[in-house]
Chain A
Amino acid sequence: MPANVDNLFKALADPGRRLLLDRLYADNGQTLGQLCEHLDMTRQAVTKHLKLLEKANLVVTLWRGREKLHYLNPVPIHDIAERWIGKFERRRLSVLAELKKRLEGETDG
């Protein structure tokens, strides 16, 4: 299923899951066991978090031999940046450009 935006924000709305994403960002392609190391979470909790992250398409898994590796999928984050940051940033920039134009117009006049 293509991940929907609600699943995505729900997945991001948890410090444990964000931590897992950070861990994958630092070292992509880890097994469940590797992800559990040095974490203050039970294996079951990590498994549950990973399931939600997968559902949101933030994490994808690949089997390599007998190992299931977890990878960070950059797509949804990129979409958020485009949809929720880029758009508003552009608006802010155009407001600044407008302000600049008006201020410069004032000095001219």
Chain B
Amino acid sequence: MAESRFVYVTYIRTTPEKLWRALIDPEFTRRYWCETYQVSEWKPGASWKSMIPDGRVADAGEILEIEPNNKLVLTWQNQFIPDLQAEGHSRLTYELEVVGESVKLTLTHEIDRPNSQLIDAVSSGWPHLLASLKSLLETGESLVETRKWPEGM
């Protein structure tokens, strides 16, 4: 295989509007995404970055495609772990689709290289964050382990 890819599909009892907000709004992401928040003008071609609470940049890239409440595609390069940064840009896609009383969220994180360390790393991170996001939207509470940026990281 010439690429590495992580795929995640979850059903969340919410609306596309609420889920969309939770994916990009700092007020939400800080609660389930380890206190990080994203900075972007959220339009095609705009820069995008995800900030660590201490002021460092976690990941950065560019918005490729954006259809509010429906689809978001952006490039993503790690900025704080040299080995991962060296792999260059990956691509993250969120797709939202109403299914009955839920929204089906499909997340695809991919990079054009085999055996990517970045994809390995995010493969263990995303399940926690997305389970926490689901919990936050469905119950109002995120999962405890995703509320704080990990110490020393």
Q: Are A60 and B131 in contact, with the CB atoms below 8 A?
A: no
Q: Quick one: which of B98-151 are within 8 Å of A by CB? A: 99-100, 102, 104, 106, 108, 123, 127, 130-131
Q: Are B99 and A1 in contact, with the CB atoms below 8 A?
A: yes
Other-chain contact of B99, A2, A69, A78, A79 (Cβ < 8 Å): A2
A28 within 8 A of B: yes
Total A-B contacts with CB atoms under 8 angstroms apart: 44
B40 within 8 A of A: no
The interface on chain A, measured as residues whose beta carbon lies within 8 A of the other chain's beta carbons, has a size of 17
B20 within 8 A of A: no
Q: Are A60 and B9 in contact, with the CB atoms below 8 A?
A: yes
Question: Smallest CB–CB gap between B100 and chain A, Å?
Answer: 7
Cα distance, A7 to B32, chains bound together (Å):
29
A74-85 interface mask toward B, CB cutoff 8 Å, 1 = contact, 0 = none?
A: 110011001000
Question: Smallest CB–CB gap between A29 and chain B, Å?
Answer: 5
Q: Are A60 and B10 in contact, with the CB atoms below 8 A?
A: no
Task: List A contacts of B130 (CB < 8 A).
Answer: 75
Question: Smallest CB–CB gap between B25 and chain A, Å?
Answer: 23
Other-chain contact of B9, A75, A79, A82 (Cβ < 8 Å): A75
The interface on chain B, measured as residues whose beta carbon lies within 8 A of the other chain's beta carbons, has a size of 19
Other-chain contact of A71, B7, B11, B99, B102 (Cβ < 8 Å): B7
Cα distance, A73 to B9, chains bound together (Å):
6
Given the known interface contacts A60-B106, A62-B108, A82-B131, the answer about A74 and B8 at a Cβ–Cβ threshold of 8 Å is yes
Q: Are A29 and B1 in contact, with the CB atoms below 8 A?
A: yes
Complex A-B, nearest 10 residue pairs according to Cβ-Cβ distance, in ascending order? A2-B11, A71-B7, A60-B9, A74-B127, A75-B10, A78-B127, A73-B9, A60-B7, A29-B5, A2-B102
Residues of B with Cβ closer than 8 Å to A?
Answer: 1, 3, 5-11, 99-100, 102, 104, 106, 108, 123, 127, 130-131
Could you give 26 example pairs across A and B, Cβ below 8 Å? A1-B100, A2-B99, A2-B100, A2-B104, A27-B1, A28-B5, A28-B6, A29-B1, A29-B7, A57-B11, A62-B7, A62-B108, A71-B5, A71-B6, A71-B7, A73-B7, A73-B9, A74-B8, A75-B8, A75-B9, A75-B127, A75-B130, A75-B131, A78-B127, A79-B131, A82-B131
